[in-house]
Amino acid sequence: MRLYKRAPGLVARCPACEEVVLRMVRRPEAAWLDMRGITARRIPLG
């Protein structure tokens, strides 16, 4: 994934097709996480 941090929040794009797959915005009272572009994500732990 390509992560862009120079926005009002974080934006992650697919490296193959450039579609936005994740957005995150943090405010003092809450964080907003939009993962509508992801159906599943494997995160290696070791």
pLDDT of 15 above 80: yes
What does the pLDDT look like over 27-40, one tens digit per residue? Answer: 888 999 898 877 77
- In which residue are the tokens 């732990």 written? 45
Q: Tell whether pTM > 0.75.
A: no
Measured distance CA(11)–CA(23) in Å, rounded:
5
Domain borders along the chain are 2-34
pLDDT at 11: 92
**pLDDT number for residue 10:** 92
pLDDT range class, residue 42, cuts 50, 70, 90: confident
Q: Annotate 27-36 with b (16+ C-beta within 10 A) or e (fewer).
A: eeeeeeeeee
| pLDDT at position 3 | 84
